[in-house]
Amino acid sequence: MSSSQGFRRPPTRRRLFVGAAAVAAGVAVGAWLLTSGAARHAHVSVAGRTEITARQLRAGRRGSTGGVSGHASVASVVLARENAAIDRLLARQPFISSGGSERREIALTFDDGPGPYTPQLLNQLARLHTPATFFEIGFMFRWFYPSAIRELRAGDAIGDHTETHPMMALLPSSAQQRQIVDQTQWVRRYGGPFPRLWRPPYGSYNATTLRILKRLRMLMVLWTVDTDDYLRPGVPAIVHRALAGARPGAIILMHDGGGNRAQTIAALAPIVHALRERGYRLVTIPQLILDDPPGRAQQLPKNLAGG
């Protein structure tokens, strides 16, 4: 199926349980991975200029010790502006699969964390001075919450990827509600704002899901490019898929959890360097929506799993 249209394979039995298997294998190694990492730089140089982005300002809400910094009021204004941009988009459509085409901005997104490979991914993002958006599974916070704290301190965006990663379209309304709301409580517990962004596991959603999201004022975030990195096709394949679908406003799907993510981490630098050589600026999903939202209403894909 075409990843450029945002379609995604239904889960196999093996993939349905990959998150639980990752926990069992990762808890033993996770502890020493969790605390590793470098601080993000406040300035990034792209195409010969220095930028201070909304991500860096959001990061000013927390210092290295978790205390409030002098940038708190500015960060609050940035967060409010991003939320207002999400509200404007929600007024005309319940989801996004790409941004607009006016600016050369692209968002890298990572699903299924936090997990044992997330600290290594965060280290690589720090070296590359690159923001990201993480769609995280609630129950994974039990073991890997320090990575979520790092993401918040770095100014990355955290979205909701449900509590236990089910096929949402197979669940009744009450269970869907719990899957969405329970995850948000983990994010709030560790200092994050209420997640305004939600991504469906396996691309599975239905009309009930959209009604719940509307009540919660949450935007469903799909993708422009699926790298299929969870299949571990090799670093060159992951890089090729990401770059082949690159265009202004693209949302690129990768994974930091759910299995061995060494190939994804190795592919990250070639992807980032190539995108910047093409003149793209890497941003979070909230900043993409603020800077360059879709110019016209997008159509929901018809054959996402359960859609």
Domains: count for the chain: 1
Q: How much is the pLDDT for 71?
A: 56
Q: How much is the pLDDT for 54?
A: 54
Catalytic residue among 111, 156, 291, 292: 111
Q: How much is the pLDDT for 74?
A: 78
The residue segments making up the domain with residue 160 are 45-291
Residue 140 lies in a domain: yes
Domain of 269, CATH number, reads: 3.20.20.370
Rounded Cα distance between 79 and 157, Å, is: 11
Of 303, 222, 277, 266, nearest to 104 by C-alpha is 277
Per-residue pLDDT of the chain (307 residues; tens, 9 = 90+): 333 333 344 444 334 434 444 434 343 334 333 333 333 322 232 232 233 455 555 555 444 334 334 456 777 888 999 999 999 999 999 999 999 999 999 999 999 999 999 999 999 999 999 999 999 999 999 999 999 999 999 999 999 999 999 999 999 999 999 999 999 999 999 999 999 999 999 999 999 999 999 999 999 999 999 999 999 999 999 999 999 999 999 999 999 999 999 999 999 999 999 999 999 999 999 999 999 999 887 888 765 654 4
Q: How much is the pLDDT for 299?
A: 84
Residue 242 lies in a domain: yes
Residue 141 lies in a domain: yes
H-helix or E-strand containing 251? strand 251-255
Q: How much is the pLDDT for 76?
A: 86
Q: How much is the pLDDT for 294?
A: 94
Residue 52 lies in a domain: yes
Q: How far is C-alpha 24 from the chain's CA centre?
A: 23
Q: What is the largest CA-CA distance in the chain?
A: 52
Length of the chain: 307
3-state secondary structure of 281: strand
Residue 298 lies in a domain: no
Catalytic residue among 71, 112, 255, 256: 255
Residue 56 lies in a domain: yes
Residue 70 lies in a domain: yes
Q: Is 228 a catalytic residue?
A: no
Beta bridge partners of 197: 219
H-helix or E-strand containing 160? strand 157-160
Residue 33 lies in a domain: no
Q: How much is the pLDDT for 298?
A: 86
Q: How much is the pLDDT for 55?
A: 59
